[in-house]
Chain A
Amino acid sequence: MLEIKGLHVKVAGKEILKGIDLSIQPGEVHAIMGPNGSGKTTLAQVLAGRVTYEVTGGTARFEGKDLLAMKPEDRAREGVFMAFQYPVEIPGVSNAYFLKAALNAIRKYRGQDEIDAMDFVTLVQDKAKLLGLDETFMKRGLNEGFSGGEKKKNEVFQMAVLEPKFCVLDETDSGLDIDALRLVANGINAMRSPKRAMLVVTHYQRLLDYVVPDVVHVLVDGKIVKSGDADLARNLEKHGYGWILEEAPRPAPARP
């Protein structure tokens, strides 16, 4: 589904990603872990199409198509979704209005009609329940004055409504209390399907207790230095990142 080869990325003239190889098949959940500043958000943003991140080498193919050549909105329409680490606020545009515009833009691209108003309400209510969001939520300005937890829930909520094929979740667990973490994890797990793949970026192990990944990659200084199964995440939690650097200074193969 997603094939990344030798991806190099610069930000503000500085090389951040130094050759990333990653292959993700439908149905798989991959986790990317790594210390602060290692380049996790950079990878997520590059996949979503943020141009402040300059690709200096390598390729990324999504379902065989050249992802890096697509405009961000076309990536979304093709089925790529990124949950932001820091979602922005858009005052005056309601959540409901925004989400409907997004859904219809994607539907139009796929040659479908605009969603019926009643169907939209039903869809939104179902998904909101899943994440424990109340009705007033939809009428509020997009992320306007939301708490950190609400913003993160909103990202997963949008993902649930838009039903992308490939989801990148950038530290969706950070800033959540334990109840919110459970709701968010449930939301993510409900989306797992044999047709959908996910890339879960996280700094800590705790989300992975709920959303158990098929593959875990460790990103250090812009390179994947080790890949393994869910146990790798637990070891990291126990021992920190230091031992990996000593044990495996060379990039490990992308698949276990």
Chain B
Amino acid sequence: MVSKTVIQEQMAKQEYKYGFVTDVEMETVPKGLNEDVIRLISGKKNEPEWMLDWRLRAYRHWLTMKEPKWSNVRYPPINYQDIIYYAAPKPKKPVKSLEDVDPEIRALYAKLGIPLQEQERLAGVAVDAVLDSVSVATTFKDRLAELGIIFCSFSDAVREHPDLVRKYLGTVVPFNDNFFAGLNSAVFSDGSFAYVPPGVRCPMELSTYFRINAQDTGQFERTLIIADDGAYVSYLEGCTAPIRDTNQLHAAVVELIALDNAEIKYSTIQNWYPGDKQGKGGIYNFVTKRGKALGVNSKVSWTQVETGSAITWKYPSCILQGDNSQGEFYSVAVVNNYQQADTGTKMLHIGKNTRSTIISKGISAGYGRNTYRGRVHIHKGATGARNYSQCDSLLLGSTCAAFTFPDIVVQDPTAQMEHEASTSKIGDEQLFYCQTRGITPEDATNMIVNGFCKQVFLKLPMEFAVEAQKLIGVSLALEGTVG
């Protein structure tokens, strides 16, 4: 059959253009995990006592926890003593301003298309760049500060805004939440922190760029974003890693808190190294992301485009606690070659008249396995709650697989639930039809995939939608030009 081979050929051409390694002198802690390592990490960051205590409590609890086995992904056992839990570029001189950032690191980000110079930045995007374990630069800090917006590395926040951090840290994802969140709470090294004060609409996209560079290290960043009463913030996260033939662990935690009438929009373009065509190497992406729509009329919105990682285990969720609060989850997850994704969301309706929308688009190619796992829970007393869920799967070729596990718990009789699901396949006949109209199979596949993802792309900021579209083309190894 023609286009089966066409598809398989396309799929096999996988190319990952962020796979280079940058030679930066690193400072690391010894391999393995114990209380001393945690003390060392905390010490390197000059953390206050309360922070170290929290880490140690998390660690002691983590020791009692078991790695979850319920997901639909397969991987060999992870040796947690064989990982380096902290790696930071050795500063050539103390970093006081952006100009002090090591030229090697600056060159690295330039190569990734993320110049750290403020004047070169995309208009309207402030960036925090995290390399391995630490934040290396945050742009536009001063301009944001004029509005009372705090946007800095997590480490800086711990030192400079301890009251805010202590008030909210672990309130959405407590350290005993799950195995990977527990691990993160013990060893997290850096990440981003944002606070938008009452009534302020953040005038630019806040963005963090995560990059794993060093070998054998894990990346455990932690992000905390708070939108105070009536505030609005849109936040964007991107990630890449070098090509290595061993698997690397990434276990992040993201907590979002929206107070009365506040809105947080969180978008991710996840492009960690996915492993090679035979499934060797790649990032294990085990991430806990959760937002609490705490205040009345508040809103938490997740948009994710997941194209990378060997394994993705991630369920950005919303706790809809405030009355009239809203939660959204818009997702595109792509697996090719031997990638596995088990991703979805949880919408917990607690407040009255809470609403949630779930749009999940899974694309599978090669030998990829793509699972949507979702839970909508309407608690007792959440009168007038509404949920709309739509889960669509698209299969390219016949060796990949798609699964959907939607779970619905309704404890309030006034709830209104709507669920739609579909599975479709890009077939030979569709490709041939396009060819007879002058369109190559690559362009046709691209066109069909983009049509399939449109609902989610529309949720992304414009320039990132274009980026996401290209990225999916690359993941599926389509070198088309239709756009």
Interface-centre pick from B429, B441, B443 (highest chain A CB count, 10 A): B429
- Answer yes or no: B436 CB below 8 A from chain A CBs: yes
- Answer yes or no: B18 CB below 8 A from chain A CBs: no
B243-284 interface (Cβ within 8 A of A): none
Contact B435 A98 (CB under 8 A): no
Stretch at the interface among A43-51, A198-206, A230-238: A43-51
- Answer yes or no: B447 CB below 8 A from chain A CBs: yes
**What residues on B are CB-neighbors of A101 within 8 Å?**
439, 443, 447, 482
Contact B430 A162 (CB under 8 A): no
A88 to B429, CA, bound (A): 7
Stretch at the interface among A2-10, A68-76, A178-186: A68-76
Partner of B437, one of A76, A97, A109: A76
Stretch at the interface among A56-64, A79-87, A124-132, A208-216: A79-87
**What residues on A are CB-neighbors of B2 within 8 Å?**
50-52
Nearest-CB distance from A54 to chain B (Å)?
11
A104 to B439, CA, bound (A): 9
A7 to B126, CA, bound (A): 65
Stretch at the interface among B61-69, B310-318, B401-409, B448-456: B448-456
Contact B432 A105 (CB under 8 A): no
Contact B433 A76 (CB under 8 A): no
- Answer yes or no: A138 CB below 8 A from chain B CBs: no
Contact A72 B448 (CB under 8 A): no
Contact A87 B433 (CB under 8 A): yes
**What residues on B are CB-neighbors of A97 within 8 Å?**
447, 451
Contact B430 A88 (CB under 8 A): yes
A52 to B447, CA, bound (A): 23
**CB-based nearest A residue for B482:** A101
Interface-centre pick from B1, B438, B440, B454 (highest chain A CB count, 10 A): B438
Partner of A93, one of B438, B440, B447: B447
Contact A49 B435 (CB under 8 A): yes
- Answer yes or no: A225 CB below 8 A from chain B CBs: no
Q: A52-B1, A101-B482 are in contact. Are A71 and B452 (CB under 8 A)?
A: no
Contact A102 B451 (CB under 8 A): no
Interface-centre pick from B1, B424, B439 (highest chain A CB count, 10 A): B439
Partner of A90, one of B430, B435, B440, B441: B430
**What residues on B are CB-neighbors of A103 within 8 Å?**
438
Contact A158 B437 (CB under 8 A): yes
**What residues on B are CB-neighbors of A82 within 8 Å?**
436
**What residues on A are CB-neighbors of B436 within 8 Å?**
48-49, 72-73, 75-76, 81-82, 84
Contact A92 B439 (CB under 8 A): no
Partner of A98, one of B1, B432, B437, B452: B437
Contact A73 B451 (CB under 8 A): no
**What residues on B are CB-neighbors of A48 within 8 Å?**
432, 436
Contact A72 B452 (CB under 8 A): no
Contact A109 B438 (CB under 8 A): yes
Nearest-CB distance from B454 to chain A (Å)?
7
A130 to B439, CA, bound (A): 25
A91 to B439, CA, bound (A): 17
Q: What string of 1s and 0s marks CB contacts (under 8 Å) between B433-475 and chain A?
A: 1111111110100011001101000000000000000000000
**CB-based nearest B residue for A141:** B451
**What residues on B are CB-neighbors of A105 within 8 Å?**
437-440, 443, 482
Contact B438 A106 (CB under 8 A): yes
Q: A52-B1, A84-B433 are in contact. Are A90 and B443 (CB under 8 A)?
A: no
Nearest-CB distance from B64 to chain A (Å)?
47
Interface-centre pick from A76, A90, A97, A158 (highest chain B CB count, 10 A): A90
Across the A-B interface, give the 5 residue pairs with the lowest CB-CB distance, nearest first: A92-B451, A72-B435, A102-B437, A76-B438, A93-B451
Known A48-B436, A76-B435, A105-B440; further 15 A-B contacts with Cβ < 8 A: A48-B432, A50-B432, A72-B435, A73-B439, A76-B437, A81-B436, A82-B436, A87-B433, A90-B433, A90-B434, A92-B452, A98-B434, A98-B437, A101-B443, A162-B437
Which residues of B line the A interface, CB within 8 A?
1-2, 424, 427-430, 432-441, 443, 447-448, 451-452, 454, 482
**25 A-B residue pairings within 8 Å (CB atoms):** A49-B432, A49-B436, A52-B2, A52-B428, A71-B435, A72-B432, A72-B436, A73-B439, A73-B440, A76-B435, A76-B438, A88-B429, A91-B424, A91-B451, A93-B448, A94-B451, A99-B437, A101-B447, A102-B434, A102-B438, A103-B438, A105-B443, A106-B438, A141-B451, A162-B437
Which residues of A line the B interface, CB within 8 A?
48-52, 71-73, 75-77, 81-82, 84, 87-88, 90-94, 97-99, 101-103, 105-106, 109, 141, 158, 162
